[in-house]
Homo-oligomer: A and B are copies of this chain.
Amino acid sequence: MRLTQFSDYSLRLLLYLAQHPDETCTIGDIAQWYGVSKPHLVKVAHNLVKLGYVHSTRGKGGGLRLAKPAEAIEIAALIKRTEPDFHVVECFDKVRNTCRVTSSCQLKHVLRDATAAFFKSLAGKTLASIAST
């Protein structure tokens, strides 16, 4: 059971920005710090800008900063936006589901409750709470 690398890198990028509140950080700096692919991180950053978590400025001295306080960035909400889906098993996906027992099987409901419990546990957890040392 895993989150995507895209969610993992989204969390790490935000964490870096939260730990450098007085700096404008470049993607190059962040990629180098974590030792991860810069092109991959560019996509992650682009998405975080689009979602309103990160503010980006161009040109010399430009870079990335958090677009809102770390206390206002909820982990659960972030993950819900960076994961492509929560199709824990195939039958969660109405379009691709081929399972013939879907109508009688209770598995989907049981796993949906478990996924809800996963997110309920994250309630109130913010970027600030994971960034604190």
Contacts and interface: CB of A to CB of B under 8 A. Distances in A.
Interface of A: 1-3, 5, 7-8, 11-12, 15-16, 19, 33-36, 75, 79, 83, 85-90, 98-101, 104-107, 110-111, 113-122, 125, 129-133
| Copies, count | 2
- Residue in A3, A7, A85 with the greatest tally of chain B CB atoms within 10 Å: A3
A111 to B, nearest CB: 8
Contacts of A1: 1-3, 79, 83, 86, 88, 115, 118
Contacts of A5: 90
Determine chain A's interface SS by DSSP, over half rule: helix
Given A101-B15, A105-B15, A106-B130, A2 B87 contact: yes
